[in-house]
Amino acid sequence: MHHPILLFLILVFTPLLQVSAQYTDMINTNRPGVSQGAFSVGTNVLQLETGFSLGKEEHRLFNTETDAFSWDYSLRYGLLKEELEISLIGEFQSNTVNFANSSVVSEDKFANFRSNTLGAKYLFYDPYRKRQLEGPNLYSWKANNRFQWADLIPAISLYAGVNFDFEDNPFSPEFEQTISPKFVLSTQNNWIGGWVFVTNIIVDRVTTDFPTYGYIVTLTHSVTDYFSVFLENQGLKSDFYADQLLRGGAAVLINKDLHVDLSGMVNFKDTPSRLYVRVGAAYRFDMHSKDEFIEEKGKSGRDKRRKEKNKKEKKNNKRKDGFEDEDDNGDGRL
């Protein structure tokens, strides 16, 4: 059972570790919640998000108590375009289960991956891009800082991934090794006052005998430029496991590339009841070299890109006398 796990780690982690949103000046991370924001990390940005959890589970029907330790990880990389990122997202967990029956007290230990998903996310719609290009209203502070109906329109992205589940995995409903798809529709609203609202609609393992459907809603508030708090609700529906989870916590921005966080999780049933504490961090290797804007479509977009190209060509075309051509119009005139 251990050989497929070791092979998976070698094949997946080795090439990714060798790689020495749109891009933002500060790190853009999905932590400390578990939802996926709509935006990518930015082209040529490699980001590691990881954390450790300690938990306690009690199952009323089985009369068991479980001490759990888990390690979650996410490797994200912005590839080719600002809207696109690829990622590896997973979790490894170790459980110690105590069976407390009337006559026998026994203990069982097991460990394996709860999940391993390799996928890609693409931003299809960004309502904030046009506002950035237009700039603020220079004549009205109130217009720039009040709620507008347009604020209800979110950025939208779609994630598609592949789950890798190993055989004889106690955290999986399938006894055999399986490969199955996962899809996540993400929306994100960035509201005035440092509020961010993220929703995920999840369709998971639909090709197996135990498909999972779910949602996540996450509300984050930046109290200061360096401190934020969040509240999150997750719902899961499956014949293997169904639950309602509530998370909350805080995060601190150490510098523009490093973030640390602390959070907790509880659920709303006793088969089993779950209580977890989680600590983690996110760090990015920022190799982003140029801010890229989503291209405008149609004739206006083509005209702007043609003018930009002409300006670059003129700037790089030095005359033999050592002077550069000056062309501010992008149409070939001096």
Q: Are residues 223 and 193 in contact, defined by beta-carbon separation less than 8 angstroms?
A: no
- Over residues 205-263, the pLDDT tens digits come to 999 889 999 999 999 999 998 999 999 999 999 888 889 999 999 999 999 999 999 99
Q: Are residues 182 and 204 in contact, defined by beta-carbon separation less than 8 angstroms?
A: yes
The Cα–Cα gap between 316 and 312 comes to: 6
CATH number for the domain spanning 259: value is 2.40.160.40
- pLDDT-derived band at 169 (thresholds 50, 70, 90) equals confident
Domain co-membership, 302 together with 166: no
Domain co-membership, 210 together with 244: yes
**pTM attached to this predicted model:** 0.76
User: Containing domain of residue 151, as a range?
Assistant: 2-294
Instruction: Provide the domain count of the chain.
Output: 2
Domain co-membership, 21 together with 115: yes
User: Token pair 């051509």 is at which residue?
Assistant: 325
- Over residues 32-60, the pLDDT tens digits come to 999 999 999 988 899 999 999 999 999 88
User: Of the candidates 44, 42, 37, which has an alpha carbon nearest to the alpha carbon of residue 25?
Assistant: 42
Domain co-membership, 215 together with 106: yes
The Cα–Cα gap between 185 and 201 comes to: 5
Domain co-membership, 274 together with 316: no
Domain co-membership, 50 together with 9: yes
Domain co-membership, 94 together with 198: yes
Over 70: is that where the pLDDT of 312 sits? no
The Cα–Cα gap between 308 and 132 comes to: 18
**What is the predicted pLDDT for the residue at 42?**
87
- pLDDT-derived band at 308 (thresholds 50, 70, 90) equals low
**What is the predicted pLDDT for the residue at 332?**
47
Q: Are residues 325 and 317 in contact, defined by beta-carbon separation less than 8 angstroms?
A: yes
> Which of 20-34, 217-231, 264-278 has the lowest average pLDDT?
20-34
Domain co-membership, 263 together with 332: no
- pLDDT-derived band at 303 (thresholds 50, 70, 90) equals low
- Over residues 67-110, the pLDDT tens digits come to 999 999 999 999 888 899 999 999 999 999 988 765 666 788 98
The Cα–Cα gap between 187 and 127 comes to: 11
